[in-house]
Amino acid sequence: MIETHLSLLIVVLPLLAAPLVAILPNGRLAWAVSSITTFVVFLLAWQQLVNVASGNIISYELGGWAPPWGIEYRIDAANALVALIVAGIAAVTLPYALRSVEKEISKPQHSLFYSAFMLCLTGLLGITQTGDIFNVFVFLEISSLSTYALISLGKKRQALTAAYQYLIMGTIGATFFLIGVGLLYAMTGTLNMNDLSQRLPDLVEHRTIQTAFAFIMVGFALKLALFPLHLWLPNAYTYAPSVITVFLAATATKVAVYVMLRVIFTVFGFSFIENTPTDELFLLLCVAGILIMSFYAINQRDSKRLLAYSSVAQIGYMMLGIGFGSMLGLTATLVHLFNHALMKGALFMAIGAIVYRIGSSRIEDMAGLGKQMPWTFAAIIIGGLSLIGVPGTAGFISKWYLVLAAIEQQNWLIVAVILIGSLLAVIYVWKLIEALYFRTAAEPVNNIKEAPLMLLVPTWILVIANIYFGLDTELTVGTAEVAVKLLLGDPQ
């Protein structure tokens, strides 16, 4: 029973939990119900990955309606890996949420907060599971609308304007995607991705198909904050509650990158992209994004904003792999998707722990805190090393594959950009470490204690994962390679 409906349960469980959590009294019960749901979903997502890890595909027909008429959930190694990232990050974020939310969000909003969190999780998991392109739009809007609400719960009033700005840009992005889907439907008469991939090759010369492609690409480039469409991201990450920053930074953009992968490689096929200037454009925007956004990160005075700009630069690395379109490039994209979720999750959690103690994320307010909060400080060091890409951490693995992909295509400029990007990361990570350890506060405050265990343990789970996946790459690289073979091979 569970086995056959596994793919559906992953989406439906958080969806059912959302209204249930909303009617529960404020306080720990709402948190407990959402945590348990998330753990179950995580286990199911794990089982799902095990089921498809050898390269087979699970097709689940919703309500028993056969595709292409009914909605189909089509799971292969790529979906399963992304679903595992989303569910896994949610499962470590929720234990962290308890104390952080009690501190940052007023009590009457607690159960609604967890309810919106569950809806956001439903949306993100739905996007990864579905094989129907219109269904992607629906889940995208479920996750986006709940995200806007969650961001607006931030303590400062700028959170409201950040949420508003994201709402406007996100809706434009989603509507562009909708236009693209409409045009595809007009030409092919189908919405099933697998069906589309069979009907599109005959129509590639058609102007409508090319327009549809352009609309979908721009729409999702907005959602995944590809430079220069990233303007909503720094404010949203800076002013959102700490928990939401952790969750969004580690999952939302990754899911959008996954949709990009799916649309480019499964629906249109890479040969379509090679006949358009899209792949060169991606490489150009990624190179510009990596360099410019890293410089922006260096100049920030707020630690959350610094990491937000770093995220935009890191999205550049993920999209580079798509621009290459090669086996190695796509492996690097999928591996970096996974690893970046781990490193940014760990870093934002550690920053969130500091915010929990001092109530500010400004770098100057953190002077000398490293000595008072040694465990949090150590988490920032290891997370930072992973962000730079030091051997022995997860970040190294993804950079390694990316550099290999660039060398394979003899694109020395991009090899240089990846290395310069890493050097720039050294500077901005150092900026945090310098402030935390080597600077002393103008007015030293001595009563700041180490963050509570409820915050430290999830942070360190991610930190240890960063080291573990830097040494054992079987899950990440192994699954990514299986997924890439399916993405590049002929879809059955």
Partner 1 sequence: MELIIGHYNYWLVIIIMMAGFYTVISQGNLIKKIAGLNVFQVSVFMLYISIGNVKDGAAPIIEPTVELYSNPLPHVLILTAIVVGVATTALGLALVVRIKEAYGTIEEDDIHNQDHSL
| Cα gap 274→327, rounded to integer Å | 15
DSSP conformational letter for 442: S
Residue 338, token pair as written in the block:
């996974």
Nearer to partner 1, 212 or 349 (CB): 212
Q: How would you classify residue 423: left for phi > 0, otherwise alpha for psi between -120 and 50, otherwise beta?
A: alpha
Q: Rule CB under 8 A: is residue 158 a binding residue for partner 1?
A: yes
Q: Rule CB under 8 A: is residue 61 a binding residue for partner 1?
A: no
**CB of residue 159 vs partner 1: minimum separation in angstroms?**
9
Q: Rule CB under 8 A: is residue 157 a binding residue for partner 1?
A: yes
Q: Which of 79, 100, 152, 303 binds partner 1 (CB under 8 A)?
A: 152
Q: Which of 39, 46, 164, 295 binds partner 1 (CB under 8 A)?
A: 164
| CA 413, 419, 422, 428 torsion-angle sign | negative
Residue 316, token pair as written in the block:
């550049």
Q: Kindly list the distances between the CA atom of residue 194 and the CA atoms of 314, 404, 490, in Å, as whole numbers in the listed order.
A: 30, 31, 11
Which residues of 401-471 form beta strands (DSSP E)? none
Q: Rule CB under 8 A: is residue 145 a binding residue for partner 1?
A: yes
Q: Which amino acid is at 306?
A: L
Q: Rule CB under 8 A: is residue 160 a binding residue for partner 1?
A: yes
User: 3-state DSSP call for residue 240?
Assistant: coil
Query: Which span sits near partner 1 by CB under 8 A: 11-19, 138-146, 198-206, 403-411?
Result: 138-146
Nearer to partner 1, 48 or 146 (CB): 146
**CB of residue 17 vs partner 1: minimum separation in angstroms?**
20
**CB of residue 158 vs partner 1: minimum separation in angstroms?**
6
| Cα gap 200→24, rounded to integer Å | 48
| Burial (Cβ within 10 Å: 0-12, 13-18, ≥19) of residue 107 | exposed
| Cα gap 199→196, rounded to integer Å | 5
H or E element, residue 352: helix 327-358
Nearer to partner 1, 140 or 482 (CB): 140
Task: Report 185-224 residues binding partner 1 (CB under 8 A).
Answer: 185-186
Q: Rule CB under 8 A: is residue 22 a binding residue for partner 1?
A: no
Q: Rule CB under 8 A: is residue 137 a binding residue for partner 1?
A: yes
Q: Rule CB under 8 A: is residue 239 a binding residue for partner 1?
A: no
Q: Which of 32, 53, 172, 441 binds partner 1 (CB under 8 A)?
A: 172
- Tally Cβ neighbours within 10 Å of residue 199: 15
Nearer to partner 1, 173 or 345 (CB): 173
| Cα gap 260→482, rounded to integer Å | 18
Q: Rule CB under 8 A: is residue 149 a binding residue for partner 1?
A: yes
Spatial CA neighbour of 193 closest among 103, 122, 90, 267 = 267
| Cα gap 314→83, rounded to integer Å | 20
Q: Rule CB under 8 A: is residue 468 a binding residue for partner 1?
A: no
Q: Which of 22, 29, 62, 138 binds partner 1 (CB under 8 A)?
A: 138
Q: Rule CB under 8 A: is residue 39 a binding residue for partner 1?
A: no
Q: How would you classify residue 190: left for phi > 0, otherwise alpha for psi between -120 and 50, otherwise beta?
A: beta
Binding mask 287-306 for partner 1 (x = CB under 8 A): --------------------
Q: Which of 31, 113, 117, 148 binds partner 1 (CB under 8 A)?
A: 148
Q: Kindly list the distances between the CA atom of residue 181 and the CA atoms of 67, 210, 378, in Å, as whole numbers in the listed order.
A: 17, 12, 47
Q: Which of 47, 175, 210, 211 binds partner 1 (CB under 8 A)?
A: 175
Q: Rule CB under 8 A: is residue 231 a binding residue for partner 1?
A: no
Q: Rule CB under 8 A: is residue 163 a binding residue for partner 1?
A: yes
Q: Which of 102, 141, 279, 450 binds partner 1 (CB under 8 A)?
A: 141
Q: Rule CB under 8 A: is residue 139 a binding residue for partner 1?
A: no
| Cα gap 176→222, rounded to integer Å | 10
Which residues would be at the binding site for partner 1 (CB under 8 A)? 134, 137-138, 141, 145, 148-149, 152, 157-158, 160-161, 163-164, 167-168, 171-172, 174-175, 178-179, 182, 185-186
